[in-house]
């Protein structure tokens, strides 16, 4: 495993981009409505790991200014056709914006970051936000990292460890943190997840 990112995970998404995206339900995230309700109309949103572009499309339709990104060129190319615009290819360790966005949306994406690199990535997310900016992310729940049948890496977190990593990375204000049952893609069944919404102090 790389110190900065997991190459096997990126290789899988690069190799199987079309079949992966075709396997995903074409519905927006259950967390999106609550996330957007915390933002002013027209807010600027950085999306990390946009996948097929379903959430970006929904956000754009509501009048938000969205910067959809993905760490895999093949996935970004597919999403760009749906959204009608070119997408930036950017890994999470390449975030370098400073106070540019009102919000950062990371649905089912940051859980691929190696655990030892989560804090540095979250520190970069913090700096990318304007004061008062909001960030959402979710992770598979658990105590240990793992790989699935596709050799994708996951950093499993409990609610406590999730909050601890955020607090250690930057002076976040925790807005909410919850546990829930959610879909697990190729595995074809629900699995336990944790989700967190945080805010950068004004």
Instruction: State pLDDT tens for residues 150-190.
Output: 999 999 999 999 999 999 999 999 999 999 998 755 555 68
Q: Which domain holds residue 61?
A: 7-199
Confirm whether 2 is domain-assigned: no
Higher pLDDT among residues 4 and 47, named by residue = 47
Instruction: Determine the average pLDDT of the residues in 56-84.
Output: 98
- CATH code for the domain in which residue 170 is found: 3.40.50.150
- Cα–Cα distance between 93 and 117 in angstroms, integer? 8
- Cα–Cα distance between 173 and 197 in angstroms, integer? 9
Inter-residue contact 80 to 61 (CB < 8 Å): no
Give the chain's domain count. Answer: 1
**In DSSP terms, which residues pair with 153 in a beta bridge?**
147
Instruction: Determine the average pLDDT of the residues in 91-100.
Output: 97
Residue whose C-alpha is closest to residue 67's, from 41, 95, 93 = 95
Confirm whether 1 is domain-assigned: no
Model-level pTM greater than 0.85?
yes
């Amino acid at each position: 495993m790389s110190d900065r990112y997991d190459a096997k995970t990126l290789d899988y998404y690069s190799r199987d981009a079309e079949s992966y995206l075709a396997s995903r339900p074409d519905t927006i995230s259950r967390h999106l409505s609550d996330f957007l309700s915390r933002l002013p109309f027209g807010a600027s949103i950085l999306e990390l790991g946009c996948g097929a572009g379903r959430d970006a499309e929904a956000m754009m339709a509501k009048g938000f200014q969205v910067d959809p990104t993905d760490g895999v060129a093949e996935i970004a190319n597919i999403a760009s056709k749906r959204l009608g615009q070119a997408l930036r290819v950017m890994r999470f360790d390449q975030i370098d914006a400073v106070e540019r966005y009102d919000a950062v949306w990371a649905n089912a994406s940051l859980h691929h970051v190696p655990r030892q690199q989560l804090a540095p990535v979250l520190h970069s997310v913090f700096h990318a936000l304007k004061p008062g900016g909001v960030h959402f992310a979710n992770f598979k729940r658990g105590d240990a990292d793992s790989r699935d049948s596709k050799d994708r890496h996951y950093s499993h977190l409990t609610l406590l460890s999730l909050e601890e990593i955020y607090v250690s990375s930057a002076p976040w204000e925790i807005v909410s943190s919850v546990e829930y049952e959610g879909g697990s893609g190729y595995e074809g069944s629900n699995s336990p997840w944790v989700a967190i919404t945080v805010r950068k102090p004004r």
